[in-house]
Amino acid sequence: MGAGRADPWHPDRARYEFQVAEPMTGTAVAAFPGFTAVESSEGTLLRGVVAGRRDLHQIVERFELLGVTLLDVRRLRD
């Protein structure tokens, strides 16, 4: 079963993309284990699997603690 696909043991697991305004350093990206970072003309895109609503909120809080401007959050299709 691939990452982000429906998982009967973890029905809330899904792949997400987070767009931030700034380029992120390796140290900042390391605060999001399992996520990949891609630089874009509009900042940085981070993509990875989110385990559920609580995990999603913790990730958003982590951006705030790092002082990173979160522009967009999207749940990706399987």
Query: Using an 8 Å Cβ cutoff, are 22 and 69 in contact?
Result: yes
Residue 30 lies in a domain: yes
Residue 1 lies in a domain: no
Question: What pLDDT, on the 0 to 100 scale, is given for residue 41?
Answer: 86
List the domain range (segments joined by +) for residue 62: 14-75
Residue 6 lies in a domain: no
Question: What pLDDT, on the 0 to 100 scale, is given for residue 9?
Answer: 52
Residue 8 lies in a domain: no
CATH code for the domain of 70 = 3.30.70.1560
Residue 51 lies in a domain: yes
Residue 9 lies in a domain: no
Q: What is the pLDDT of residues 22-71, one digit of tens each?
A: 999 999 999 999 999 999 888 999 999 999 999 999 999 999 999 999 99
Residue 67 lies in a domain: yes
Residue 23 lies in a domain: yes
36: which strand partners?
A: 47
Residue 78 has pLDDT above 80, yes or no: no
Question: What pLDDT, on the 0 to 100 scale, is given for residue 77?
Answer: 86
**Number of folded domains in the chain?**
1
Average pLDDT of the segment spanning 2-23 = 74
Is residue 73 within a helix (H) or strand (E), and if so which, with residue range?
A: strand 70-75
